[in-house]
A and B are shown apart, each in its own frame.
Chain A
Amino acid sequence: MALLDVNHLDVRFALRRGDVQALRDISFSLERGERLGIVGESGAGKSVAAFSLLNLIAKPGYIAGGSIQFDGRELTDMSDRALRHVRGHRMSMIFQDPMMTLNPVLSIGEQMVECLKAHRRISTREARAIALRKLEQVQIPSPSARLDQYPHELSGGMRQRVIIAIALLLDPDIIIADEPTTALDVTIQAEIMALLLELCEQHNVGLILITHDLGVVSQVTQRMLVMYAGRVIEQGPTREIINDPQHPYTQGLINALPQMATPGSRLNQIPGSMPSLDNLPTGCAFHPRCGFIDRADGTTRRACIDEVPGFVTSGNCRVACHMVAEMLERERISAEEIR
């Protein structure tokens, strides 16, 4: 059984004009030490997904259905006390903005010691030693001096390293990183991602990396989910999806990158923009922007407009698209005919 098993997770936000479904039918699993990427544009629901994993969604959001099994235990109906234990010890989180996690009036050392002592019965001296070791692990220059510094005295890249050190403090099984390098420059981003990758591999820690950057996902993760309008539309091994995307949205996303076109030529843009969650199109949420739909025959076309697509398996990937389903079906029939 996988370390983390998410099944048919639904998350809703109760707003004054009615409920808005933020996540719909999310299912995935994460093995021990595995690195998973969640990719999508803003508004796709990837951050909500991350927060719901720790059962941390703020009001008015709530988990409306489905299950999250972590190490065989159900998180959705766990008591707050037990949840806090899981959050501290077993799963930790890295945010985009380091200042969200760091308290500006406490020194780095104080924050790390406080965190350790809240979860373990150890002396301050021991806690400081652990904190120092973690800072060494994240390759901060002169770690012992950093313990007594305050967050504002560090640069953006250093702060993100401290955040990683704090995330590793209690030796968690999974780190959830929500856009950890978006606010950083490319050279710093490359260093932080390399560090994160190295630490996860060394300590056999699982990583859920939430990002909009396909380049980062392709370099760091083993498997990935692509999200669109609150749903997973494609999931599978990262390499396979990047090299041979099946879903028209994933294809569009990859083909829209400037590096996929000859310099100076027109980029392959996806028309339109992502619908807002309270005003989703019927059927497949992507159909108004889909380039495939023109090539579809009558029945499939109607299905795209009327029915929410289920998953079909293509190779090692799972894709939610009526067109892909139709093509696979056609291939199957022709294969049978040949036989």
Chain B
Amino acid sequence: MNATAQAKAQTPDQAPGAAKPLLEIRGVEKRFSLSGDFLEQLKFKRGRIVREQQFVHAINGVDLDIQRGEALCVVGESGCGKSTVARTVMGLIHPSAGEVRYDGQRIDDLSHKALMPYRRRMQMIFQNPYASLNPRMTIQQTLEEPIRLHHPDWSPKRIKQQVAEVMASVGIAADWGGRYGHEFSGGQRQRIAIARALAVDPEFIVADEPISALDVSIQAQVLNLLMEAQQQRNLTYLFITHDLAVVEHFGTRVAVMYLGRVCEVAPTATLFARPRHPYTQALMSAIPRLEDDRPQHIRLEGEVPTPVNLPSGCVFHGRCPHAFDRCRQEIPQLIVTDDGGQVACHAVEEGRID
């Protein structure tokens, strides 16, 4: 995979003639109510009963495109909304606003039945291999079930054959079928979970922190497996992670999120060579490295604000060393940079910082 070559073909905001993206996320917002049910929302204020609701703003206006065959990595710290993006794309959560388009078709408002063809084409791999396999089902049952659902016309023999093929392709021994998930180690379970996702021959996979719960030596195995599957099956990934080393290795492009907004999107090599957004810069300087020469990490002031009361303007302004008045008032939009990325920062736009 040549990251820079691919990146050139995928200039953001669709240069004329460029391929249509496989997945488009447009202005997606998601807020979760904190205020319980209707009766609990009623408050008595100034002699009147008013309905009051508080929300957690998990994501606020996310725009992302995912091109066929690429691996788009979404990075950010806990609470930045990266998992919410993944779950919204997969239809596990309905967005409060905005839309998700798959292959040109809007999918976030489809009925269960209308969504079925997309369910086969889009699959998901979860973070915790200890919770993502049903403890009461054997591996064979776990793998056969989705195939039977999506191919009701297939014979039992053909289903078995498909299971055997997918098990072989992820390096699971054929005799594991009769056993239960708890008999396996974390890495083995994650292989099984990947096999389940691949069993219905999807073209797009959302992976939500698929290696975070695994040991270092096992992480490499699973990452290799995901890359092999991508090459063999021409998969497209939306890869959620907090580990920048993994992003650098795995991603075609990277989107950096902070407090429910995308602050920078760029081809991987570009982003790592020259991070533009002040938050990206701070994030990258914080990675513990093996080398001696400790580059001083950029200390951010304060902490991530709560997503209940979002800061006005740029959500990062309270901790940003380059913040000025405009940042406190106006929400920065993603602008295209000269090196093929997009960044949402007034300071970069105005050329005040590099």
Contact = CB atoms under 8 A, between A and B. Distances in A.
Give yes or no for direct A-B contact (beta carbon below 8 Å): yes
Interface of A: 41-42, 141, 155, 157-158, 185-191, 193-194, 212-216, 218-219, 239, 242, 252-254, 256-259, 261, 263-264, 266-271, 273-274
B348 interface: no
A212 to B, nearest CB: 6
B297 interface: yes
B181 interface: no
A266 B286 contact: no
Interface stretch (B87-95, B214-222, B330-338): B214-222
Contacts of A263: 3, 248-250, 268-269
A273 B218 contact: yes
A186 B283 contact: yes
B15 interface: no
A268 B220 contact: yes
B216 A187 contact: no
B63 interface: no
B224 A267 contact: yes
B223 A258 contact: yes
A191 B227 CA distance: 33
A186 B303 CA distance: 13
Contacts of A267: 220, 223-224, 249
B77 A212 contact: no
Nearest to B298: A187
Interface string B248-264: 11100000000000000
A190 B215 CA distance: 21
Interface string B275-317: 0000000110111111110100101101110000000000000
26 contacts: A41-B215, A41-B218, A185-B78, A187-B77, A187-B282, A187-B300, A189-B286, A212-B216, A214-B290, A215-B288, A219-B289, A219-B294, A252-B217, A256-B217, A256-B219, A256-B220, A257-B216, A257-B220, A257-B290, A258-B220, A258-B245, A258-B248, A264-B249, A269-B217, A270-B221, A273-B215
A157 B215 contact: no
Given A258-B223, A259-B245, A215 B217 contact: no
A194 B298 CA distance: 12
Given A216-B288, A239-B292, A266 B215 contact: no
B1 interface: yes
Give the size range of B's interface with the partner.
Answer: 35 or more
Q: Which of B216, B287, B289, B299: most chain A CB closer than 10 A? A: B216
A256 B211 CA distance: 13
Contact of A190 (B187, B227, B288, B292): B288
Contacts of B294: 219
Given A214-B290, A215-B290, A263-B249, 13 more contacts: A158-B303, A186-B242, A186-B287, A187-B286, A187-B297, A215-B289, A253-B216, A258-B249, A264-B249, A269-B221, A270-B217, A270-B220, A274-B215
B283 A269 contact: no
Interface string B238-252: 000010111011100
A259 B256 CA distance: 19
Q: Which of A155, A219, A264: most chain B CB closer than 10 A? A: A264
A191 B319 CA distance: 15
A263 B187 CA distance: 22
A269 B289 contact: no
Contacts of A186: 77, 242, 244, 283, 286-287
Contacts of B244: 186
Nearest to B247: A258
B185 interface: yes
B293 to A, nearest CB: 10
A157 B303 contact: yes
Nearest to A187: B286
A181 to B, nearest CB: 9
A60 B304 CA distance: 42
A41 B289 CA distance: 18
Contacts of A261: 249
B128 interface: no
A177 to B, nearest CB: 15
Contacts of B290: 214-215, 218, 242, 254, 257, 259
A191 B219 CA distance: 25
Q: Kindly list the 5 A-B residue pairs having the minimum CB-CB distance in the complex, ordered from nearest.
A: A215-B288, A258-B249, A256-B220, A185-B77, A41-B215
Given A253-B216, A263-B3, A273-B188, A190 B249 contact: no
B288 A258 contact: no
Nearest to B244: A186
Given A258-B250, A259-B245, A266 B227 contact: yes
A239 B77 CA distance: 29
A141 B302 CA distance: 9
Contacts of A252: 217
Contacts of A155: 303-304
Nearest to A40: B215
Contacts of A242: 290
A270 B248 CA distance: 20
A267 B216 CA distance: 11
Contacts of A259: 245, 248-249, 289-290
Q: Which of B223, B286, B299: most chain A CB closer than 10 A? A: B286
Contact of B288 (A141, A157, A193, A268): A193
A199 to B, nearest CB: 16
A239 B291 CA distance: 9
A268 B248 CA distance: 16
Given A219-B288, A268-B220, A212 B1 contact: no
B245 A257 contact: yes
B230 to A, nearest CB: 10
